[in-house]
């Protein structure tokens, strides 16, 4: 396992931006009237702030760690209808705030002239706070999603395996909100073998690259998984580069 000191490195990044709700108004006067009747906090020029920061740390030739942070606070206009007032649409103001944390570990397990094997795993937590009709709700603060990615090459053989996962409870959204209520997932843990493929590179005259391969999508998932539906896809194919 290579661990030369000269492989250690750190990259830092960050950004800050502002925007406002003004461009969301397709019908400016009517939207103002509707929102002002429901909220005294409405201001289409109020700035929405977004902060982003992160780091990529090469601990060795074998391991790279990366971290991303994203925090945003903004206002949204949302149309909704009420079942007891037919043929009428209302507009209300939503204060939306979310905080995203993402961590990734990348392993360069084998890196030789004839064989390469890399593996990486990542996880993302996206906590969202919504204030609407003066009531705050939280979603996603206890849920992590991510994947496990593997790539392998040996001479003319290549293969890949990718997993998706969702673990933890996403939390409960207030279902009394009249418009499009978000309902929490009923399953706390989901796993899916999302991508699996195997192929071989051929040498062919007049072509720079020739490959044949077989692949499968959503090959397996646990019975209560709700990451994707239960459809599975299998196929074989080829690629020619002139």
Residue 1, pLDDT score: 41
Residue 186, pLDDT score: 52
Report how far residue 64's alpha carbon sits from residue 105's, in angstroms, rounded to the nearest whole number. Answer: 6
Alpha carbon 194 to chain centroid, angstroms: 15
Span 140-157, pLDDT tens digits: 677 888 999 999 999 999
Look up the pTM and report it.
Answer: 0.72
Q: How many CB atoms lie within 10 A of CB 204?
A: 11
* Secondary structure (DSSP) of 77-104: EEEEEETTEEEEEEEEEEEEEEEEEEEE
Domain map (residue ranges) of the chain: 5-241
Residue 128, pLDDT score: 78
Return the minimum-mean-pLDDT range out of 47-51, 124-128, 176-180: 176-180
Rounded to an integer, the average pLDDT of 192-214 is 89
Q: How confident is residue 135, by pLDDT bands cut at 50, 70 and 90?
A: low
């Amino acid at each position: 396992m290579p661990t030369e000191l000269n492989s250690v490195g750190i990259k830092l990044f960050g950004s800050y931006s502002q925007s406002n709700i003004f461009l969301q108004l397709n019908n400016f006067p009517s939207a103002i009237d509707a929102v002002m009747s429901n909220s005294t906090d409405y201001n289409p020029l109020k700035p929405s702030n977004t902060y982003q920061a992160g780091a990529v740390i090469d601990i060795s030739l074998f391991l790279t760690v990366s971290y991303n942070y994203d925090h945003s606070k903004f206002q949204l206009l949302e149309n909704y209808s009420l079942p007891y007032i037919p043929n009428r649409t209302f507009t209300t103001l939503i204060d939306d705030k979310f905080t995203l944390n993402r961590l990734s570990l990348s392993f360069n397990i084998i890196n030789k002239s004839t064989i390469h094997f890399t593996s990486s795993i990542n996880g993302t937590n996206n906590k969202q706070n919504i204030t609407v009709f003066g009531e705050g709700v939280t979603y996603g603060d206890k849920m992590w999603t991510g994947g496990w990615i593997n790539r392998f090459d040996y001479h003319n053989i290549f293969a890949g395996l990718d997993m998706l996962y969702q673990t933890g409870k996403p939390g409960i959204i207030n279902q009394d909100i009249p418009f499009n209520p978000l309902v929490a997932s009923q399953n706390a843990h989901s796993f899916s073998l999302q991508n699996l493929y195997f192929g071989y590179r051929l040498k062919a005259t007049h072509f720079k690259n020739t490959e044949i391969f077989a692949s499968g999508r959503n090959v397996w998932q646990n019975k209560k998984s709700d990451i994707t539906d239960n459809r599975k896809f299998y196929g074989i194919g080829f690629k020619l580069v002139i």
